[in-house]
């Protein structure tokens, strides 16, 4: 943003309280005008849960890449870095409980983000960093600049408290196959050596027609098995990660958080199919996840 524009925008306010507004989560992800991925998928269920979210966009796009056209752009690194600087200037990192990151858009943005994370975690040691290492998917292959994988592996994984890859991303980061449940467990444990306390891996194959979501720490391993539905929409991993974070911040243990998150995503997919919408019906995810009855999908030891 140019200095003349800043001069034009800055102005005083006659009356306002001096106390800082509460912030629970800082979410650094892509942002869409239409459809659900990145912040556009993760933030609505977080807010439905009652959490306060500060959104930092890494991209501003008209829609997901599934359409014939897509407008907008990855934020230039000076824009992106300026937004991160603004977060620090307002001391949001000192008040938030979780820092969540997803699609970063470019290698330059990845390095700028890693520099910033190193700084804010030193300044706010209670802040927990959740890394969703967006690289690609099994049916698409990688859809980020190749250098971003090294940023995730070498710079961000050692800083993360929780990392939430899909099966394809788990393979890329661990260097091991992660198609089946047993392969996924082995690959997840390989990532734990890099620094995170938890690896939550989704879209791993369990058996014919079913998927397994794994949550693995040094001393625990849990799984939730759910039917694979005949639908391919963006945003499911973003919603899953958001619901797990919300549940954990609510005081739930990881097995219950896993149950809630899978139930929420599955309900959103079912609603999308039922209504024949081209985009994920995310508004049903949080209510389904917060249902207090018996869990729809039960976490078991893996």
**25 pLDDT above the threshold of 80:** yes
Q: In the prediction, which pLDDT does 94 show?
A: 97
Domains of the chain, residue spans: 21-301
What percent of the chain has a predicted confidence (pLDDT) above 90? 88
Q: In the prediction, which pLDDT does 178 show?
A: 96
Mean per-residue pLDDT of the chain? 95
**205 pLDDT above the threshold of 60:** yes
Give the torsion sign (CA, 112, 153, 256, 233). positive
CA atoms of 224 and 190, how far apart (whole Å): 20
Poorest-pLDDT segment among 3-12, 119-128, 269-278:
3-12
Q: In the prediction, which pLDDT does 86 show?
A: 97
Q: Decide: 213 and 184 in contact? Cβ < 8 Å.
A: no
* Residue 162 bridge partners (DSSP): 130, 198
CA atoms of 26 and 176, how far apart (whole Å): 31
CA atoms of 126 and 1, how far apart (whole Å): 32
Neighbours of 293 (CB within 10 A): 5
Interval 222-267: pLDDT, tens: 999 999 999 999 999 999 999 999 999 999 999 999 999 999 999 9
pTM of the model: 0.95
Superfamily grouping for domain 21-301: Ribokinase (3.40.1190.20)
**124 pLDDT above the threshold of 90:** yes
CA atoms of 110 and 58, how far apart (whole Å): 10
Neighbours of 30 (CB within 10 A): 25
pLDDT band at 5 (very low <50, low <70, confident <90, very high): low
Strand boundaries in 47-179, DSSP class E: 53-61, 72-74, 98-101, 128-131, 136-137, 141-142, 162-163
Interval 150-204: pLDDT, tens: 999 999 999 999 999 999 999 999 999 999 999 999 999 999 999 999 999 999 9
Tell me if residue 124 falls in helix, strand or coil: coil
φ, ψ of residue 229 in degrees (nearest 5): -95, 150
């Amino acid at each position: 943003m140019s200095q003349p524009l800043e001069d034009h925008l800055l102005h005083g306010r006659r009356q306002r309280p001096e106390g800082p507004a509460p912030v629970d989560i800082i979410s650094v992800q892509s942002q869409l005008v239409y459809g659900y991925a990145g912040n556009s998928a993760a933030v609505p269920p977080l807010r439905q849960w009652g959490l306060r979210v500060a959104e930092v966009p890494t991209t501003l796009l008209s829609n997901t890449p599934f359409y014939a056209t897509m407008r907008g752009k990855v934020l230039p690194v000076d824009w992106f870095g300026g937004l991160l600087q603004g977060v620090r200037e307002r001391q949001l990192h000192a008040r938030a409980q979780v820092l969540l990151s997803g699609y970063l858009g470019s290698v330059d943005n990845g390095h700028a983000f890693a520099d910033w994370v190193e700084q804010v975690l030193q300044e706010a040691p209670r802040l927990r960093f959740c890394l969703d290492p967006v690289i690609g998917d099994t049916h698409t292959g990688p859809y980020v600049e190749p250098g971003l994988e090294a940023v995730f592996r070498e710079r961000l994984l050692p800083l993360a408290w929780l990392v939430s890859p899909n099966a394809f991303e788990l393979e890329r980061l661990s260097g091991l196959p992660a198609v089946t449940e047993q392969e996924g467990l082995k690959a997840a444990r390989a990532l734990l050596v890099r620094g995170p306390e938890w690896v939550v891996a989704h879209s791993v194959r369990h058996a014919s027609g079913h998927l397994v979501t794994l949550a693995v720490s040094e001393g625990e391993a849990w799984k939730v098995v759910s039917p694979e539905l005949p639908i391919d929409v963006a945003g499911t991993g973003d919603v899953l990660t958001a619901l797990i974070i919300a549940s954990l911040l609510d005081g739930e243990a990881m097995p219950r958080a896993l149950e809630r998150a899978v139930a929420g995503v599955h309900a959103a997919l079912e609603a999308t199919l039922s209504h024949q919408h081209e985009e994920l019906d995310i508004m049903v995810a949080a209510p389904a996840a917060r249902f207090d009855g018996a869990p729809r999908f039960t976490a078991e030891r893996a």
